[in-house]
Structure 1
Amino acid sequence: MKIWAWALLAFATSAGAAETAVDAIAAHKHLGVATCSNSVCHGASQVFKDSNILQNEFAIWQEFDPHAKTYATLSTPAAKTITAKLGLGDPAQAKVCLDCHTDNQPVAARGDRFQISDGVGCEACHGGAELWLSAHADRKVTHADNLAKGMYPTENPVQRAELCLSCHMGEKNRMITHRIMGAGHPRLSFELDTFTWLHPHYKIGEKWTKRKGEWNGVRDWAVGQGIAAENLLDVLVDPKTGWNGIFPELVLFDCHACHKVYKGNKWGPRQGTGLGPGVVRLNDANLVMFRHVLAPVDKAAAQRVFEETRALHRATTESREATFAAARRLRATLAELVTKVAAHDYDAASLDAILASIDADGARGEFRDFASAEQAAMASQSVVVAFENDGKLDKDKAALLHAKLDALYDTVKDENNYAMPRFNTALKSLRAAAP
């Protein structure tokens, strides 16, 4: 059993009745960032001798990590304009804003040194430190001991994805709605592996893997796609958050199906939806990617996801009942397959199968939608980094692949000027250069 697998079991035991990642994070009192930033803890300027960690995590978080600045954004003119349009008043006081821009715990669950102005601090991701703060630095205390006391298992890709997506995508207890987007909130986009390493405050090495188990970035990407797809379907079928009056919650649908420059005849068919022109369609980017996740794992299952996704698209044009039924069938399929994906060893052969699958989808026109193309670009990056980590690339080959990757990203840097043919050309060029 992989080490992160038993960490999941420890989490399930310690969390007790916790139903979601948000519940687990809130299960114990939050003591505040100040309790972690001491110079002999995570606020050191240099690594201590024989330390298992860098010990400068606080400084890195404070200076480089956007999570440290999320509360400050609530005082910007843009934030105030959004809440004014929504009738919410001061964004620094509005719960719907604080829930994701801060570690918004109930007052009774905050320690003496807790400050809401710290933004998304340590315990927002690692869980309330009430029971494990004083013990977790002791070398005799194992990681399993910390998990049993309420530390959240961020090393576990399933648990990390559920937590990250609760804000970066939204879930039924803290939903980023179409109304919030309409008031001016930026479009949400997330991919687990890419976003994990945008601003890292730790390194994967022998000491980390000894404590927390094997790390595999492509596996993390794969799991993240599955959990995001599950989350989409969970919200869709929830009668309170998935619907707004007579309309479904439109944030679940593809933004660019409606919001695009109206010029020329740009519509074209997508096999993955089976829908005609002028139809508002679900944002199925994570479902599209999950088929590529399955390419080296189970090709028959990938085809099943394709067919059930297409059936869901068709059901949205029929009735609410048909949509719910199709979503629940697909959700059950995903639940079965995410476990299989999480246990798969994404080796070098898997990387080639994933790139080939993505490239084939490009040729079929499946990246007509910007959101799917954006996800495919981030997936390609995870694969390229994995090739490097596996020692498959010499210096020149690595430089070539990164140049091809930059060219691919260039095609998705402006959603308003996205062109599928240009994206497909860059994707094919990257595929041809891969080992």
Structure 2
Amino acid sequence: MRLWAVGQAEAVQRSLGLFAQPQLATEGLFPQFYFFDCHSCHRGIDDQPNRPRKFEVNPGRPMPFGLPPYNDENIIMLSAVAQVLAPGQAGAFDAASRQFHTAMGQGRPQAVAAAGKLRAAASALSSAMAARGANPDSAFAVIDAIAGRAISPRFTDYTGSAQAVMGVDTLLNALVREGRITVGAAAGIRAQVNRAYAAVASPTSYDPPAFRAALGQAARSIEALR
């Protein structure tokens, strides 16, 4: 679990470090799309007045409607894990995350400055989590945080949701390896985990409310085995 958690922090640092480099962040007139969440924009296009709207406002991104968001899949996971493994630093990280998303709508100088602050907060979390001692119940708590009220509303897009179900599955496997959950018990709740995977089987069929419901059920089933 600690390896997975530190990996999330390192992924955030790597992405923001690349974004801060002018020669990498833009391609001529356009931004380098590597840094953005493509699936937040690539949705069904229909100009009929009764078309269903799949877009949801993301509470973790205080930014103008229609602005392409930064790919924050690892940022969301790090916010969840920080609640459990480094609660004293979680608030500062979340504040830096919101500031960064806000700055993306203000201009590149503001975004780069905010990226530096968020990267520093991620680095501090990485060091704190790497030095943390083992706690058998931490993986349960992180799974609960991922599907909890603070984080779950941020699963409005395909990419972050796919990262979430993979994270839950990774932590479930860690609990089995550590003997906290038996192989048989894990197999018994595999159907719930697979439903969460099915909800992100394709970006074209992704439905945010359906995914959040499936992830929540999987997390509750895992918690029942604690």
Q: Is the TM-score greater than 0.5? A: yes
Residue 33 of structure 2 corresponds to 250
Equivalent of 1:401, from 180, 184, 189?
189
Q: What root-mean-square deviation, in Å, do the aligned CA atoms of Structure 1 and Structure 2 show?
A: 1.7
Residue 8 of structure 2 corresponds to 225
Q: 4+ residue runs of structure 1 moved beyond 3 angstroms?
A: 361-364
What's the CA shift for 1:379?
A: 0.5
What's the CA shift for 1:344?
A: 2.3
Does 2:60 match 1:279?
Answer: no
Q: Which fold has the larger relative contact order, with Cα–Cα distance below 8 Å and residues 6 or more apart in sequence?
A: 2
Partners of 1:226 and 1:302 lie apart in 2 by: 12
SS of equivalent to 2:153:
coil
Residues paired across the two proteins, number: 218
Residue 212 of structure 2 corresponds to 424
Deviations 1:256-299 (A, max 9, x none): 12211124222222111012421111001111111122122122
What's the CA shift for 1:248?
A: 2.3
Contact conserved, 2:200 with 2:211, CA < 8 A, in 1?
yes
What's the CA shift for 1:318?
A: 0.6
Residue 42 of structure 2 corresponds to 259
Residue type of the alignment partner of 2:2: R
Q: Please say which structure displays the higher CA radius of gyration.
A: 1
Q: Say which structure is richer in helix.
A: 2
Does 2:18 match 1:235?
Answer: yes
Q: Which moved more, 1:340-349 or 1:276-285?
A: 340-349
What's the CA shift for 1:246?
A: 3.2
What's the CA shift for 1:413?
A: 1.3
What's the CA shift for 1:347?
A: 2.9
Residue 113 of structure 2 corresponds to 325
What's the CA shift for 1:220?
A: 1.7
Residue type of the alignment partner of 2:43: K
Alignment CA distance shift 1:338-1:394 (3 Å): closer
Partners of 1:410 and 1:318 lie apart in 2 by: 37
Residue type of the alignment partner of 2:13: E
SS of equivalent to 2:105:
coil
Alignment CA distance shift 1:395-1:258 (3 Å): closer
Alignment CA distance shift 1:314-1:363 (3 Å): closer
Alignment CA distance shift 1:361-1:250 (3 Å): farther
Partners of 2:151 and 2:127 lie apart in 1 by: 30
Q: For structure 2, list consecutive stretches of 5 or more residues without a partner in the other structure.
A: 47-51
Contact conserved, 1:293 with 1:354, CA < 8 A, in 2?
yes
Partners of 2:70 and 2:122 lie apart in 1 by: 17
Equivalent of 1:316, from 104, 115, 128?
104
Residue 290 of structure 1 corresponds to 78
Partners of 1:230 and 1:363 lie apart in 2 by: 20
SS of equivalent to 1:344:
coil
Partners of 1:395 and 1:293 lie apart in 2 by: 24
Q: For structure 1, list consecutive stretches of 5 or more residues without a partner in the other structure.
A: 1-217
What's the CA shift for 1:238?
A: 0.2
Q: Which moved more, 1:294-303 or 1:415-424?
A: 294-303
SS of equivalent to 1:295:
helix
Contact conserved, 2:145 with 2:151, CA < 8 A, in 1?
no
Residue 143 of structure 2 corresponds to 355
Deviations 1:366-385 (A, max 9, x none): 10111110110110011111
Partners of 1:401 and 1:362 lie apart in 2 by: 24
Partners of 2:205 and 2:150 lie apart in 1 by: 18
What's the CA shift for 1:350?
A: 0.7
Residue type of the alignment partner of 2:109: E
Residue type of the alignment partner of 2:74: N
Partners of 2:28 and 2:111 lie apart in 1 by: 16
Aligned ranges for residues 3-402 of structure 1 at < 5 Å? 218-263=1-46, 264-361=52-149, 364-402=152-190
Residue type of the alignment partner of 1:415: P
SS of equivalent to 1:270:
coil
Contact conserved, 2:147 with 2:219, CA < 8 A, in 1?
yes
TM-score, normalized by length of structure 2?
Answer: 0.89
Alignment CA distance shift 1:239-1:276 (3 Å): closer
Partners of 2:218 and 2:150 lie apart in 1 by: 12
